[in-house]
Amino acid sequence: MFEKREVNQLIDLALAEDLGPIGTDVTSDSTVPPEEQAVAHMVAREACCLAGIHVAVEVFRRVNPELQCDVLVEDGRAVEAMTTVLVIKGSAQSILTAERTALNFIQRMSGVATITAEYVRAAGNPDVMLLDTRKTTPGHRAFEKYAVLCGGGTNHRIGLYDAVLIKDNHLASWEKKYGTGVGECVAAARKKYPDLKIEVEVDTVEQLKEALTTRPDWVLLDNMPPPVLRECVALCKGICKTEASGGINLDTIYDIAQTGVDAISVGALTHSAPSIDLALDFVE
């Protein structure tokens, strides 16, 4: 999902933020003898779907390559409360310096994975893809989209470069300039980027019918109730795939997942995921 170089760049930025211009953990430097060795356990204090364990390991190794990190639980696994997921051995100073940064990454990523797993279960339909969105923490998109995968979800487009998604503001701009509708807009995008997936957002059945004349790869059915979604799915059969989106939550996703849509996108997977309570405790 992401390259080690990308991981290290973000880790280095986070560590620099913590250690400041002098590059030193002044508390550990002044209170913990440099020769002191320790064993620490990273523990999930609440049940969760784990994500980011190897990112956390890389934080410890960036601080001190001599630290020994033993992974006990891999990403994507469901863990019960009070489960030890990682054991770190080595310099006590180094463990303390890396602690918060490592926890920040794995707590956030596990939160995304856990809420994704909750939505997958609530949908109750393995034939429907649960998609993420671009509503991610700036700079952390690769990590958060990886966490969605850990929770059983599927990645939508990564950015603005790997797929065309024509939304309402694009259509408004197009119509203002050219005076034509959604069908012509889709055709223009197809001509400009013939090798990319083309998706278009529609709000009504009438708008969908016009869009289908130019055969997009996907249509995003925005804020439609289940009966309308079923009608739209029938119209799209054999032409394109369907994505339901807009205001979907844990209470509504089941009914939407039974309408026949191919996918459901939920921004809350990344923009509203709570961090999971993980902690680091010295045991020796």
- State whether residue 15 is helix, strand or coil: helix
Residue type, 98: A
88 contacts 282 by C-beta, under 8 angstroms = no
Backbone angles phi, psi at 10, to 5 degrees: -70, -40
Nearest in space to 174 (alpha carbons), one of 200, 208, 135: 200
Burial class (CB in 10 A: 0-12, 13-18, 19+), 57: buried
pLDDT in tens, the chain (284 residues): 567 788 889 999 999 999 999 999 999 999 999 999 999 999 999 999 999 999 999 999 999 999 999 999 999 999 999 999 999 999 999 999 999 999 999 999 999 999 999 999 999 999 999 999 999 999 999 999 999 999 999 999 999 999 999 999 999 999 999 988 899 999 999 999 999 999 999 999 999 999 999 999 999 999 999 999 999 999 999 999 999 999 999 999 999 999 999 999 999 999 999 999 999 999 97
Name the CATH topology of 125-271: TIM Barrel (3.20.20)
Catalytic machinery residues: 100, 135, 167, 201, 222
State the Cα–Cα distance between residues 127 and 123, nearest whole angstrom. 10
| Domain boundaries, given as residue ranges, for the chain | 4-120+273-282, 125-271
At the top level of CATH, which class does the domain 4-120+273-282 belong to? alpha beta
The reported pTM is 0.95
